[in-house]
Amino acid sequence: MRSTSRPDSRIALLLASAALVSSTARAAEPVARHRHAAAAKPPSEENIEVRRAHPSFRFGAAQHQAATVTEYSGADLVRLGVTKATDLQKIAPNVSIMSMNGTQTTVYYIRGIGMSDFTQNAMPSVMTYIDGVPYPVSSMSAGMLFDIATVGVVAGPVGTEHGLADSAGEVNIRTNDPTPDWHGGVSQDIASYARSRTTLYVSGPIAPTLSFRIAGQTEHGGGWQYSPANATHLGNADMGALRAKLRWTPDARTTVQFSAHWLQDDSQTIAVKPVLNSLPSKPYPSLPYQEANWSLKPAFARLIGRPASLYPSEHDTNWGADLNVAHDFSFATLQSISAYETERIAEYTDQDGTKWATGDTYRSIWANSFTQELRLHSRDDSAALQWDLGATYNRIRMNTNFFGDSTDYLPLRGYMLQTHYHQDGQTFAQFAHLSYRLPGRVSLFGGINHEANDQQLLGLNTKHIGINSLSFADEGANANQFSGVLGAQWQATARTMLYFKVSKGFKPGGFTANNTVVQSQLTPYKPETLLSYEAGIKSDVIANRLRLNAAAFYYDYHDQQYLGTYVVPSFGPLGRYTNIPKSEIWGVEFSADIHPFKGFYIHQNLGYQRGKFQDFQSSNTAAVYAHFQQTGIWAPFYTSYNGYDLGQPKLTLNGSADYTLQPPGPLSVETGLDWSYRGAQALTPGGTGVYMLPSYFLLGAHMTVRPTHGHWAATLYATNLLNRQYYTTGGSYTVTEFWLPGPPRFIGGRVSIDY
């Protein structure tokens, strides 16, 4: 399941050129290769496919992979207005990607599997890879969606062919590599609310065996919210990023590539919209959609060491470097990826969306990640036996300070707090994958991953400013588990493939850390596992005219990691991660690519999923508050949610339609629409009313003019063309339930020049 819009812009041609040049280091490509799939095709058919041009339907290799892989080119992302991680949910079925409280902290869900982790101290359920490097802290990959070659979303358990094991899937981003000849370009994008986005790149040779590429991006403005309490706008971007690559090919069998990147993000965040207030003494007004409030008391500003004029905003610095070495032996290719990533996060948010100090938060995170992967994979793609063998090591070091201001939460709290801790973690994974092609175009495949994970939570201390200081014993969490896959695929015809597989997913456990008041809050939650059954078909029904793919899946889900409520006697309810013993998820996915006549292309994804809790007892927050109001005593009340829906959007739709007109003369015109629909999402088990985000539908449009023979393009576009009012995610903090609004209509123009 993937995009197939044709690369008819100059930008797309340059991206394709860079991808072709990088083919000597093919193993570095982050999308899982599923070599057993490629082996299912006989050598004669493979040769034909290499020689033939496929201008309508690209990413033909994915048609022979026994997995749901949604893949787009960098030119596709530009055309669809995908500029940040949360936009990726517009391009794949059964995918939800959400910003936590308007920040750079991003939460991924694939097929209902994900973890809402604001603290960023847990391994994500969906791993992000950039150029083959895993990002175990999602905010480390923020701001990197520029100068992109391809993006791939892989659904289902992973980890038997590269990287680390995970329960939900992975997002694979491959950036453009250096080219042996000179290329360069610049793009200027200006849109509503004074938003400006500039991207540029230059690539070329330094010596016969040495080439380079430098790319950068800046973004400013775009603040579409207004705060009547502060008489100012909110949400302006202030971000700059650079990426540099150096590529050395000392011989025809060896490629050495060094990459480095840097990001500085001082952007304002979007304020949440309060929808329910449980503190009647601090009422808040009902504001129009594009209005929101915030507050920062001078005492809290002094505590966090920031100016009292601070807006809700980021002050983030991310940088990293990696070394990718591949050598082609006569029997196999050996690849080594060494990477170091670091982030310095300083982030202020107002999580009640009011002028009251009941939910002001500030966090600072200093974290680094070191990864080393070694992988050996078979060299002859035409052989019946294909194999991969490797190991990945990851180490994380993290120092976190979390501050909260609840001085207006009276009479219960009325103080400011600080929680500080240090966390160390390391993971060592070994993986192997085999496939064997039998007669009759049938292939059997299997893979295994063994992963050992060790985490330590050290020196946690909570200060209630002016009241007390609480220190807690260190905690540890260990996991040592196997995951894997078994399956078969059948290349029924040259253009139709069917597959079935059973796989086990695994995700390590961890800790709840922020706002700790009793030791029992730090009890580690357990790893989660799931057993996945998936069947699918991929077919180019009519070559270059009609492609139809479909998959169905069933998940037997155990120990789902979930942010629930823990009632602390004499204090009240606090969030704590826990495990849901048993759940189930099932669903279907479809994609269609249609090219009925010259110049006209349609792409459509559809995902439908259902899930329910089968064994789940949880604290009933409404009952807890009701009991406290009657008695003044905090006491837990539990409700069985067996049979309740998991709450993830049941239906997702996204697609696009494009038409290119080639009138007489030197110019061509492309016009198109893109759309996405996401169903309602429950924020709590069985949630309704304010605990249920409404469904929404978004429509975009674009029109591009470019010369038939030239190096420039001019585009007019609109996002959220219908100016819908919608909400992307929600949550709660102290006395407030809130929703996070999505951007209104943006109308913009973009001019690009490439050579």
Domain ranges of the chain: 10-300+337-379+388-396+408-754
| Largest interatomic CA distance in the chain | 81
Q: Residue 569's pLDDT is what? A: 81
Alpha-carbon separation of residue 370 from 185, 258, 339, 374 (angstroms): 33, 15, 6, 14
Q: Residue 556's pLDDT is what? A: 97
Amino acid at position 407, single letter? T
Q: Residue 1's pLDDT is what? A: 46
Strands 385-405 and 273-277: unpaired
Query: Would you state the structure tokens that stand for residue 562, as one six-digit string?
Result: 């979930």
Residue 446 contacts residue 434 (beta carbons within 8 Å)? yes
Q: Residue 217's pLDDT is what? A: 97
Strands 126-130 and 169-175: parallel
- Count Cα atoms within 13 angstroms, Cβ side, for 458: 9
Note the pTM of the prediction, 2 decimals. 0.90
Give the integer Cα–Cα distance in Å for 664 and 657: 23
Q: Residue 324's pLDDT is what? A: 98
CATH class name, domain 10-300+337-379+388-396+408-754: mainly beta
Q: What is the pLDDT of residues 573-584, one digit of tens each?
A: 888 889 999 999
Looking at the DSSP bridge assignments, the partners of residue 149 are none
Q: What is the pLDDT of residues 718-752, one digit of tens each?
A: 999 999 999 999 988 888 889 999 999 999 999 99
Question: String of b and e for 612-646 (b: at least 16 CB within 10 Å)?
Answer: bbbebebbbbeebbebbeeeeebebeebebeebeb
Cβ burial of 308 (10 Å; 0-12, 13-18, 19+) is exposed
Give the integer Cα–Cα distance in Å for 421 and 133: 27
Residues of the chain with pLDDT under 50: 1-55
Residue 141 contacts residue 124 (beta carbons within 8 Å)? no
Residues 6+ apart with CB under 8 A from 237: 195, 219, 220, 221, 222, 223, 267, 268
